[in-house]
Structure 1
Amino acid sequence: MSAVLPVGSNRTRLWGLTPRERLARMAAGQQLDFASGAGGGPLVANLAFVFDPAWLRFIAERPNHVLTVEGVPVLAHVEDLEPRLAVTFAMGHDLPLADPAGCVSVAYEELGALENEALRKREKPFLGRLTPETVRALERQSYFGAYKGVTDLLTKYLWPEWALVLTRWAARIGMTPNQVTTIGALLCIAATWLFHEGHFWTGIALGLVFMVLDTVDGKLARCTLTSSWWGNVFDHGIDLVHPPFWWWAWGVGLHAWGRPLDGELFATVMAVLIGGYVVQRLIEGAFIARFRIHIHVWRPFDSWFRLITARRNPNMVILVAFLALGRPEWGLLAVAGWTIASLAVHGVQLLQAIRAARRRPVVSWLA
């Protein structure tokens, strides 16, 4: 197992963590040991800086490379002891690396974007010198760096600033991502009951908070480097299961509101909403199983359509719009119609990919 040697000392905190604590979590997540002593390595990290985990992976894959900012080494992968000592000295004294001694020096300023398959985007991960004056700017960079590039329109355009405030607050008081997810799950259940009783506006208010927290828990996990297998299952399990219950509860709540759907129409709408949701997710799973990429990152159109496809958040926009008109039953019918349309689009996407794969590999346009 490779080891990473931290160089220097920095008590300034980013998301409640010192650079050394961040590096320790980062190393553990990438199955790297922590080295000690000037001869440790072969990876070396400058604690005057903080950086996205992608840069540690980047340098770990490139023996005898040094990543610099304004000439000062930030990360290095140096196999031989003598040049490693030179890199360590330059880091510890905040000096440019005068003699790379056979290493390839790579300037951060000159590097381009990297693909992040997990977050479905291609961008340049954050890296910067951590001082008390740069904390907020670096937290903002790391937060937006943890955002998925391909998602729905509310998560992409409406939630970010709200969720940033809540993520900072949660990090400051030491909340864990799973605690945030638990609070969100309770709000999700409460919103389901309120929809069932016809209290649509109150349910939407609680559902709105839940939807924002659904963003916060993931960002908190990525920013504080506390992602876990259970946290991922817990968060995504709730995301996967609850939407059909919301649509059913909304349909039942129409009775209390005073505009119920008749029995046959209600059954048809529920079959479309629940069946369409399940089949759409199965199509997405089949696409991943066959082509090893998400259906939403194949082509630019597919990424754009993810903004509005019949998932929870776009569907809630439809329900709220019709509720504002005093016709929540029309909203449910509109969501059913949009589910059919989205299902047809996803079916066509899958068939097009199968056909395209006969001529060339199906790869993400973000790669």
Structure 2
Amino acid sequence: MVANLSTPPTVVPVGDNPVPIWGMTNAERLRRMAVARKLPFGEAAGGDVLLANLAFAFDPSWLPHLLGLPGTVMTRAGVPVLAHVAADQAERVRAAMLADRPLAAEGLAVIEAEDENGIFNEALRKRERPFAERLTPASVPAIERASYTGAYKGVTDLLTKYLWPEWALWLTRLCARAGISPNQVTAIGSVLCIIATVAFWYGWFWSGLAIGLVFMVLDTVDGKLARCTITSSALGNAWDHGVDLVHPPFWWWAWATGCVAYGRPLDHDTFVAVIAAMLFGYVAQRLIEGAFIAKFGMHIHVWERFDSRFRLVTARRNPNMVILFAGLLIGRPDWGIVAVAVWTMLSLVVHLVRLGQAMAAKARGRRIVSWLA
């Protein structure tokens, strides 16, 4: 019998598992997944169900994937882990979960979690392999790492990708176990962001860089903590993205001003040119990124391989901080801020050209899709 989609299915936990993950029980983690998707949770009173085997921990992306696939079961080593089924199918699936045995899947479609092809993520327009693993005390570190890695969506800059994933993972685990919320991490980071701005303004560049480094790591932690503990909120998203969007120009302005106190002042014309280039370039790049999303339904950084690679170094906050650090190493913070301005304008040109190329390709009839798909 085909499941009924007229009403949302109830997410039903099957079994019990005392092993904690990200500072919570597997049942609580499942409940948060259901709440995040606005799905009923608990025992079903009839109708369709999403049965979840608590002997396993799985990536949250499995839930919306099976939500759109009634009459489907996802298995690990043949044992059902998550199943979207109608009421008359539920009992035999539940029995297989509780007995920890493979399911005789007559009448059901089967997705094997081990399948190398993975699933297609519509939001990111890319294929990925979400995890589904047996949850035991010994497997918790590996599952948490897989959960954390899965929270890195799309492409990012070189520091976030290569330098501090391990630092951020350790801090994310610490916060989860200590009961520190993502918004509390964002609050701490916001204070550090302001302190770093003041330090740059007064030419205390090394102190500002150290404080800014902690802030940048926490800027990764809050988002990963929210995704791993499934505690994302509209307020948290707005706060985090608001801080990310607003503060970079203030940092660059403060750094240029601080060069005076440091003893390497910019002359008036250079100062004006630097600030104008960075402000214009920053805003224009954001507008281009927005235009690309509006036109093609995806980020410009995931279009072709070049765009993903360029995202590693494009003139965003973290790559710019590497440039400033290099200038400070040779005692020339003024050269550093001038280099940031130049790199900002060059990055703007690259983004403008890529937007034009995508529009021209579409006009020729080419379908614009992500190379990650």
TM bucket, shorter chain:
over 0.9
2:144 is equivalent to residue 136 of structure 1: no
Pair 91,2 (structure 1): closer, same or farther in 2 beyond 3 Å: same
What's 2:360 paired with?
355
TM-score under structure 1 length normalisation: 0.96
Distance of 1:30 and 1:172 partners within structure 2: 24
Pair 352,303 (structure 1): closer, same or farther in 2 beyond 3 Å: same
Distance of 1:347 and 1:21 partners within structure 2: 46
What's 1:178 paired with?
183
CA displacement 1:126-175 (0-9 Å, x = unmatched): 11111111111110111011113300000000010000000000001001
Kindly state the Cα deviation for residue 117 of structure 1 after the two structures are TM-superposed.
Answer: 5.6
What's 1:92 paired with?
98
CA displacement 1:47-70 (0-9 Å, x = unmatched): 111111111122221111111111
- Aligned to 2:155, the other structure's residue is in SS state coil
Pair 49,323 (structure 1): closer, same or farther in 2 beyond 3 Å: same
Q: Which runs of 5+ in 1 are unaligned?
A: none
2:178 is equivalent to residue 145 of structure 1: no
Amino acid at match of 1:363: V
Matched residues, percent identical? 61
Distance of 1:321 and 1:120 partners within structure 2: 36
Pair 119,364 (structure 1): closer, same or farther in 2 beyond 3 Å: closer
Kindly state the Cα deviation for residue 111 of structure 1 after the two structures are TM-superposed.
Answer: 4.8
2:81 is equivalent to residue 74 of structure 1: yes
Equivalent residue for 2:109, pick from 97, 100, 104:
104
What's 1:6 paired with?
13
Kindly state the Cα deviation for residue 303 of structure 1 after the two structures are TM-superposed.
Answer: 0.7
Relative to structure 2, which stretch is displaced further, 204-213 or 281-290? 281-290
Contact in 2 for aligned 1:7/1:46 (Cα 8 Å): yes
Contact in 2 for aligned 1:115/1:366 (Cα 8 Å): no
CA displacement 1:166-204 (0-9 Å, x = unmatched): 000000100110100110010000000000000000000
What's 2:317 paired with?
312
What's 2:5 paired with?
none
CA displacement 1:185-228 (0-9 Å, x = unmatched): 10000000000000000000000000000000000000000111
Pair 167,13 (structure 1): closer, same or farther in 2 beyond 3 Å: same
Distance of 1:105 and 1:121 partners within structure 2: 21
- Aligned to 1:31, the other structure's residue is in SS state coil
What is the correspondence of 1:37-48 to structure 2 with a 5 Å cutoff?
Answer: 41-48=48-55
Pair 190,48 (structure 1): closer, same or farther in 2 beyond 3 Å: same
Amino acid at match of 1:95: R
Pair 189,223 (structure 1): closer, same or farther in 2 beyond 3 Å: same
What's 2:164 paired with?
159
TM-score under structure 2 length normalisation: 0.95
Contact in 1 for aligned 2:10/2:43 (Cα 8 Å): no
Distance of 1:179 and 1:192 partners within structure 2: 20
What's 1:326 paired with?
331
CA displacement 1:62-110 (0-9 Å, x = unmatched): 11111111111101111141x321110111121211x223112222112
Equivalent residue for 1:58, pick from 46, 49, 65:
65
Q: Which runs of 5+ in 2 are unaligned?
A: 1-7
Pair 326,260 (structure 1): closer, same or farther in 2 beyond 3 Å: same
Pairwise CA RMSD = 1.5
Distance of 1:320 and 1:121 partners within structure 2: 34
Distance of 2:178 and 2:249 partners within structure 1: 34
What's 2:43 paired with?
36
Distance of 1:288 and 1:250 partners within structure 2: 32
Kindly state the Cα deviation for residue 42 of structure 1 after the two structures are TM-superposed.
Answer: 2.1
Pair 38,105 (structure 1): closer, same or farther in 2 beyond 3 Å: farther
Q: How many positions carry a matched residue from both structures?
A: 365
Contact in 2 for aligned 1:323/1:331 (Cα 8 Å): yes
